[in-house]
Structures are given as structure tokens and as C-alpha cells.
């Protein structure tokens, strides 16, 4: 029986079933049928792809961080009211070499790859100076570029996959096409298929900056759109050799929004420490406690950076929810973590696999999550010092000009509950991406453990929750009904792990209006492995 209630009521998890989310999972040799309860909506035709970590140790060597697990792709196919399921590891260099050598070969987010013990000290010494070997472990997202699909992480490598067979086709280095050191796993995709993304780069005067990259849609001559990638605008970096960690960005009809947080990558440490003594990505993060948060905007077409200074209190931020323009303002909704500490410090596998009391104890020390709305005025005048520049009637967010010419932004809090995060947000993106909207959907994290699906009305702050005991969903994906009138006419798709159930995992379909259950497609226990549902993003087509 599903429960619908406000965030204040929640389940505890003393049995620790969530640990199954962080166990190695075997891939399948063939597609298997799912057992359907309820009725699959007739408009669900095609496939749901989902990515996440699926291999958490190689031989006797464990991976240590949630984002180190090797990429496993899941696929649910919908046809004639029936559902089938398949999964396969992406054959990245990181995965293939690890399986071949039975050890961690390429350094991951929180796991350092030690040199081959069979090599002598001199060969190991020279190996250190061959440069940083960046991982291609594409466990975060999958999205289309032209007529192709790519599995991605946050480095410069993206991996082309066959969405029918889940075969790995080729590895692509984005550095070969544009001035970029890496790109995020959360691009914006326009209706015609144009892809926009952001990543840090080497800018003017050998200082770091952030480039917005545009990849055009499918070409008439069938050539690869990646060949025509180009930088459309550049944002400056607050610190010359310490770029901020960037996980996503905002885009409206006419503007890009980049939020520069105080969580920094120490580039000099990355290059020197990695090469000489060995470290992982996590070792290279630090916080600039004095920076606060900087909000940058740029015109989209033609790309032009707007040199206005917008500042706010320090936050960590991974996911934008949406951004839109209204009456001379840009409204920016995002999932924030208060303060300057890096939230990934709390996502070590040892923390997540602990007993429930220890999980809660560790999460109590972490930054607190909030859903926030910031409003950026496009028309700023120095004579308006000390005055709230925001005149939109529906928000309490403010923007105040300071004497130094900067504008201080105070947010409106759309949702807040202690240690309960509204994260991995989704909206009705096809119709309301970059536009004034009402509803957001998300995965609810209870002390970092995913145990609910949430809906938020960003205008009234009303909330809805789906939750069942000992059940751990992945972030929801909104699919609009073909004849939709209202913004929330559609369904949410999520994968739920239920470790104690007869069938330990299922695809769940919820009515996006009220989060009531429409149908579920359960997957049998196969090869003594659990279906991984803690996937970081997904694609439906």
C-alpha cells in the first residue's frame, strides 16, 4: 500500500535494506520479461535507459566512493502493454582494463589506481610523468546527440552506445573538438536537438574560465554533429587556477545562467600531487570560505557575457531545477546545500553502507539541503543602492545593490526540511524547460538514503510524496501524456529496489497529478544479483 503525505512523516530504515543499492550487480545475458501489475499506459512505447554504478570492487580491490562504481546501463522496453528488462556494463577503458587486470587501473573519483605491482620502480617512476590519465567511467547520464546516444560522466570523455543492444560503440574525446577540459553530465537539449553544455577551460592569459559549448542537431548530410561543436560564450573564473566544481547550469529562452560556488578544484594540486605521489579526484577539492556564491549570466544568441556582479551566501549546488525570464528578471530555481562544504564528502561507500543510526549521525554533520529560488534583475542601476530591485509579486526573493556595484541575492526558500533533500529534480522539460512553470519532481533523500518520490508546487509550496516501507526508488522521469492540457498531465517513471520482496526490484509508474500508482513491472531475482536502482540519470524515448 502506497502512502501519500507531506515530508514531515517518513520511514526509518533500521533493517538496512539500502545497503543492497551499493552491491555489485551482474549483467544479463538476455532480455527478461517483467511481471506487470496494473495497466501500462498505451502511450509508453519505446525504451527507458538508466545508468548508475554497478561494479564496486575489482578482484581484491574495492572502490571507495559512490561515484567510483563502474557504469552499468539498464533498459526497460515498453511494447503492447508489456515490459522487458536488460542490463549491460559499458565497455569503457576503465572497465575493460580493470576486468582484464583484475585491479583498479584508472583512478576514479575517490579511488586511487596504484601502478602495476609487476612493473619495477623505474618504469613506475616514468609512468607518473606521462600525465594524468582521466577516467571515462560514464556512470552519470545518457543523452542524444544527433541520432546517436552517449553515456557520460563529468570528464572530457563521452561514450557512444547502441541503445538496442547496449553495446559500446566508441569513446569520444571532447577536447579534440572544443576548448574544454570536461563537460557536465547535465546538458540542455532544445526541441530541434541542439545540445548546450558547460565545462571549465583554459581562458585568456592562461587563466581558467568556463565555456558554453553548442552541438548542433542532426545534420542534413548525416555528418557527425560533434564535428561542428563550438564555444558560444565564456564565463570568467573567480580564481585563476581554482575553478569551481560545475555539475549543471541554467538556460532560459534567451540567457545562460552559471552559478559559481565556493567548492573548488585545486588544479595545481591535481596536476602535481597526482603525478608525483598519487591522489584521487576527491583529494583535489577544497572550499573558498570567503568567496560566497557568484551568479553569472550571458546572452544566448549571440553569445555575450553580461559583466554584472551578482553574489549570494555560500552554497553547494549540483542540480538546477529550471530557470525562466519574467518582466526583466531571470528566475532561477535550484537544489542548494547551505554552506561551503562539499557534499560529496558524505558519499563514501563506507558511510552509505553503515547501519541506520550511523548513517543518520554522519548526515547530521552535512550541509543542509533546501530548494531555493533566486531572482536576477537584468536592469541594474547604481542609483538604486540599498533598494530591493525585485518587483515580481509572487516571490520573496530579493536583489539589493551594494556600494561596490555588486548586487546581493537573497533567495526564497521553496522547500526545507532537516536532513530531507529534494534532489535529482525533473520537470515537464519538453514544454516548460526555460519557461515559467509550476511543478517539480524529485528523488527524496532521507539522510542521503533515497526512499521516496516527491512533487513540489513551486508557486504554492504544496508537496506530495510516494513512499513504501523498505523501498528505495531512483529519481523520477516525467513523461507527458499525448493529449496533455495541464502541466502535470503525465506519468513519472522510477525504478524501485525492494530488497526484502519476492521480486526485489520493479519499474514503478505514478500518476504525476497525485503520485498515485498506475502500474508496476516487477523483475525476478536473477543470478543472485539485485537490480541496481540508484541510477544517477536516465533517458526515455
- Binding-site members are 186, 247, 319
Q: Note down pLDDT in tens along the chain; length 541 residues.
A: 344 444 555 789 999 999 999 999 999 999 999 999 999 999 999 999 999 999 999 999 999 999 999 999 999 999 999 999 999 999 999 999 999 999 999 999 999 887 655 544 444 443 444 456 889 999 999 999 999 999 999 999 999 999 999 999 999 999 999 999 999 999 999 999 999 999 999 766 667 899 999 999 999 999 999 999 999 999 999 998 899 999 999 999 999 999 999 999 988 777 765 555 568 889 999 999 899 999 999 999 999 999 999 999 999 999 999 999 999 999 999 999 999 999 999 999 999 999 999 999 999 999 999 999 999 999 988 678 899 999 999 999 999 999 999 999 999 999 999 999 999 999 999 999 999 999 999 999 999 999 999 999 999 999 999 999 999 999 999 999 999 999 999 999 999 999 988 889 999 999 999 999 999 999 985 433 333 344 444 444 4
Q: How many CA atoms does the CB half-sphere of 229 hold within 13 Å?
A: 22
What is the pLDDT at residue 384?
A: 80
What is the pLDDT at residue 502?
A: 82
How far is Cα of residue 299 from the mean position of the Cα atoms in its chain? 24
Cell numbers at 407, concatenated: 548586487
- Binding-site members for Fe cation are 186, 247, 319
What dotted CATH number matches 17-523?
2.130.10.10
Q: What is d(CA 485, CA 496) in angstroms, rounded to the nearest whole number?
A: 29
Residue ranges of domains in the chain? 17-523
What is the pLDDT at residue 524?
A: 82
Q: What is d(CA 516, CA 509) in angstroms, rounded to the nearest whole number?
A: 9
What is the pLDDT at residue 275?
A: 58
Residues 145/225, Cβ–Cβ less than 8 Å: yes
Alpha carbon of 11 to those of 176, 353, 533: distances in Å?
A: 49, 18, 19
Residues 113/134, Cβ–Cβ less than 8 Å: no
CB atoms closer than 10 angstroms to residue 307: 9
Q: What is d(CA 131, CA 119) in angstroms, rounded to the nearest whole number?
A: 18
Cell numbers at 30, concatenated: 538476455
Asked if the peptide bond before residue 302 counts as cis, ω within 30 degrees of 0, the response is yes
CB atoms closer than 10 angstroms to residue 118: 7
- What is the number of helices (H) and of strands (E) in the chain? 6, 38
Residues 424/371, Cβ–Cβ less than 8 Å: no
What is the pLDDT at residue 11?
A: 85
Mapping DSSP to helix (H, G, I), strand (E, B) and coil, where does residue 299 land?
strand
How far is Cα of residue 504 from the mean position of the Cα atoms in its chain? 25
Mapping DSSP to helix (H, G, I), strand (E, B) and coil, where does residue 228 land?
helix
Residues 353/327, Cβ–Cβ less than 8 Å: no
CB atoms closer than 10 angstroms to residue 125: 12
Amino acid at each position: 500500500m502506497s502512502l501519500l503525505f507531506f515530508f514531515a512523516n517518513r520511514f526509518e530504515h533500521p533493517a538496512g535494506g539500502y545497503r543492497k543499492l551499493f552491491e555489485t550487480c551482474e549483467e544479463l545475458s538476455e532480455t527478461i520479461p517483467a511481471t506487470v501489475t496494473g495497466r501500462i499506459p498505451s502511450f509508453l512505447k519505446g525504451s527507458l535507459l538508466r545508468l548508475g554504478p554497478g561494479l564496486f570492487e575489482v578482484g581484491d580491490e574495492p572502490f571507495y566512493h559512490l561515484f567510483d562504481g563502474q557504469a552499468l546501463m539498464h533498459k526497460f522496453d515498453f511494447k503492447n502493454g508489456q515490459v522487458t528488462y536488460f542490463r549491460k556494463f559499458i565497455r569503457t577503458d576503465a572497465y575493460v582494463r580493470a576486468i582484464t587486470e583484475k585491479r583498479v587501473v584508472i583512478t576514479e573519483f575517490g579511488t586511487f589506481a596504484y601502478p602495476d605491482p609487476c612493473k619495477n620502480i623505474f618504469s613506475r617512476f616514468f609512468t607518473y610523468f606521462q600525465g594524468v590519465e582521466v577516467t571515462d567511467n560514464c556512470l552519470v547520464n545518457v543523452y542524444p546527440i544527433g541520432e546517436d546516444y552517449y553515456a557520460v560522466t563529468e570528464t572530457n570523455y563521452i561514450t557512444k552506445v547502441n541503445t538496442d543492444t547496449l553495446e559500446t560503440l566508441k569513446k569520444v574525446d571532447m577536447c579534440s573538438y572544443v576548448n574544454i577540459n570536461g563537460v557536465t553530465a547535465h546538458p540542455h537539449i532544445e526541441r530541434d536537438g541542439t545540445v548546450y553544455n558547460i565545462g571549465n577551460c583554459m581562458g585568456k592569459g592562461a587563466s581558467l574560465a568556463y565555456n558554453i559549448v553548442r552541438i548542433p542537431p542532426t545534420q542534413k548530410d548525416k555528418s557527425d554533429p560533434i564535428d561542428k561543436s563550438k564555444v558560444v560564450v565564456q564565463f570568467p573564473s573567480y580564481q585563476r587556477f581554482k575553478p569551481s566544481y560545475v555539475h549543471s547550469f541554467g538556460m532560459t529562452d534567451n540567457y545562460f545562467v552559471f552559478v559559481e560556488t565556493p567548492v573548488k578544484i585545486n588544479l595545481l594540486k591535481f596536476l602535481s600531487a597526482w603525478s608525483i605521489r598519487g591522489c584521487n579526484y576527491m583529494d583535489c577539492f577544497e572550499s573558498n570560505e570567503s568567496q560566497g556564491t557568484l551568479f553569472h549570466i550571458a546572452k544566448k544568441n549571440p553569445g555575450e557575457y553580461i559583466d554584472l556582479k551578482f553574489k549570494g551566501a555560500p552554497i553547494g549546488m549540483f542540480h538546477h531545477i529550471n530557470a525562466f525570464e519574467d518582466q526583466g528578471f531571470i528566475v532561477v530555481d535550484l537544489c542548494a546545500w547551505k554552506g561551503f562544504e562539499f557534499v560529496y564528502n558524505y558519499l563514501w561507500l563506507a558511510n552509505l553502507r553503515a547501519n541506520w543510526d550511523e548513517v543518520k549521525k554522519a548526515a547530521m554533520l552535512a550541509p543542509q539541503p533546501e530548494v531555493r529560488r533566486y531572482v536576477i534583475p537584468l536592469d541594474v542601476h547604481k542609483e538604486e543602492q540599498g533598494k530591493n530591485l525585485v518587483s515580481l509579486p509572487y516571490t520573496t526573493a530579493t536583489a539589493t545593490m551594494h556600494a561596490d556595484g555588486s548586487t546581493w541575492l537573497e533567495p526564497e526558500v521553496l522547500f526545507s526540511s532537516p536532513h530531507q533533500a529534494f534532489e535529482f529534480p525533473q520537470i515537464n522539460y519538453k514544454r516548460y524547460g526555460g519557461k515559467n512553470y509550476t511543478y517539480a519532481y524529485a528523488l527524496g533523500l532521507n539522510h542521503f538514503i533515497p526512499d521516496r518520490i516527491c512533487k513540489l508546487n513551486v508557486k504554492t509550496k504544496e508537496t506530495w510524496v510516494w513512499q513504501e516501507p523498505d523501498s528505495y526508488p531512483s529519481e523520477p522521469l516525467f513523461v507527458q501524456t499525448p493529449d496533455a492540457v495541464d502541466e502535470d498531465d503525465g506519468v513519472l517513471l522510477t525504478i524501485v529496489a525492494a530488497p526484502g520482496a519476492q521480486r526485489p526490484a520493479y519499474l514503478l509508474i505514478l500518476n504525476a497529478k497525485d503520485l498515485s500508482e498506475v502500474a508496476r513491472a516487477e523483475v525476478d531475482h536473477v543470478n543472485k544479483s539485485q537490480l541496481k536502482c540508484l541510477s544517477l540519470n536516465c533517458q526515455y524515448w
